[in-house]
């Protein structure tokens, strides 16, 4: 899925705003706070794990258009670039609020953050608690394995019979394991880095991921590979489970504004942004 990095793609990243403002307490749709500089009531608080490359990650400096993390550090990745584009369109500064995946929706509903931009799919279950924007990315489900694994040559789900497979806790990936005939379903794990280590060590045979996440894992770990599937040979998923959207509080006044901002980012620009994120991810 990688595309050539064009000047237009690089320029898009260059114009995305990089805020030096972080926040203290949350304020729902309003945002606000301070992080070592002056206080900005307009700061947009964006929740993410900052640990799921190429969608989001943590880094030590502000290089490559990174955004500040509330409490210290910097975040980069595709989600960060999308969030920065939204913040720019809203005319607001932005700060990343880093937290565990399971804490994102509670933080949004209680007003600790203004948006979730974290590779989250708008499933029916999640829509019961929060609203979602229009999609900003579409992917497919693949299985990450060791490159020297007998499962690396699989072409269908049936080929994974007997494989020890897991997925991240609280994501759409873990329930998909049940579609694999004869699979040895493992306990869900809390993060993708944990699953990468488990595959590399041989503790499990594979884990389910979106394709960009798999590409990212392989770029940083050449001993890994992934299996994608032709139509009819892979996972049966609802459209809402393969698209990624921004999470917003129920009835948020930001929803329409976020959709307008996303409409201003073309599909070509989004592809360039993802390619850039994969190229820039930390090793």
User: Is the bond leading into 54 cis (omega within 30 degrees of zero)?
Assistant: yes
82's tokens: 């999308």
Maximum pairwise Cα distance, the chain: 58
pLDDT in tens, 157-173: 999 999 999 999 999 89
Residue 78's H or E segment, with its range, is helix 78-90
Work out the percent of the chain whose per-residue pLDDT is above 90.
77
pLDDT score recorded for residue 86: 98
Q: How confident is the model at residue 29 (pLDDT cuts 50, 70, 90)?
A: low
Q: How confident is the model at residue 231 (pLDDT cuts 50, 70, 90)?
A: confident
pLDDT score recorded for residue 27: 42
Residues of the chain with CATH 3.40.190.10: 7-138+243-280, 141-236
Residue 38 or 279, more confident: 279
R_g of the chain, CA atoms, integer Å: 19
Q: How confident is the model at residue 265 (pLDDT cuts 50, 70, 90)?
A: very high
Sheet holding 115-116, edge to edge: 94-98, 44-48, 115-116, 243-248, 131-138
| pLDDT value at 108 more than 60 | yes
Q: What's the CATH fold of domain 141-236? A: D-Maltodextrin-Binding Protein; domain 2 (3.40.190)
**Contact assessment for residue 74 and residue 50, using Cβ atoms and an 8 Å cutoff:** no
The upper half-sphere exposure of residue 113, i.e. CA atoms within 13 Å in the direction of its Cβ, equals 28
Backbone angles phi, psi at 262, to 5 degrees: -65, -35
pLDDT in tens, 186-196: 999 999 999 99
Architecture of domain 7-138+243-280: 3-Layer(aba) Sandwich (3.40)
| pLDDT value at 21 more than 60 | no
pLDDT score recorded for residue 241: 82
């Amino acid at each position: 899925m990688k595309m050539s990095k064009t000047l237009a793609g690089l320029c898009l990243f260059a114009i995305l705003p990089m805020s030096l403002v972080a926040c203290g307490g949350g304020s729902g749709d309003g945002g606000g706070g301070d992080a070592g500089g002056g206080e900005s009531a307009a700061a947009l608080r964006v929740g993410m794990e900052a640990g799921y490359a190429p969608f989001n990650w943590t880094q030590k400096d502000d290089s490559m258009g990174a955004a500040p993390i509330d409490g210290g550090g910097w975040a980069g990745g595709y989600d960060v670039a999308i969030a920065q584009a939204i913040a720019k369109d809203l005319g607001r500064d932005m700060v990343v609020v880093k937290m565990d995946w399971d804490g994102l929706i509670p933080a949004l509903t209680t007003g600790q953050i203004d948006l979730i931009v974290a590779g989250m799919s708008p499933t029916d279950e999640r829509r019961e608690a929060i609203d979602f924007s229009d999609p900003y990315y579409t992917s497919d489900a693949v299985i990450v394995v060791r490159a020297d694994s007998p499962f690396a040559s699989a072409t269908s789900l049936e080929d994974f019979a007997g494989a020890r497979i897991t997925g991240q806790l609280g994501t759409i990936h873990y329930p998909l394991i049940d579609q694999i005939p004869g699979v040895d379903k493992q306990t869900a794990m809390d993060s993708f880095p944990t699953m990468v280590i488990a595959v590399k060590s041989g503790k499990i045979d594979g884990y389910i991921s979106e394709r960009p996440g798999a590409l990212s894992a392989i770029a940083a770990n050449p001993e890994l590979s992934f299996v994608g599937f032709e139509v009819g040979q892979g996972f049966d998923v609802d459209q809402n489970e393969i698209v990624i959207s921004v999470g917003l509080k129920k009835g948020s006044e930001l929803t329409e504004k976020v959709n307008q901002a996303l409409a201003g980012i073309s599909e070509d620009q989004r592809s360039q942004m993802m390619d850039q994120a994969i190229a820039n991810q930390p090793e």
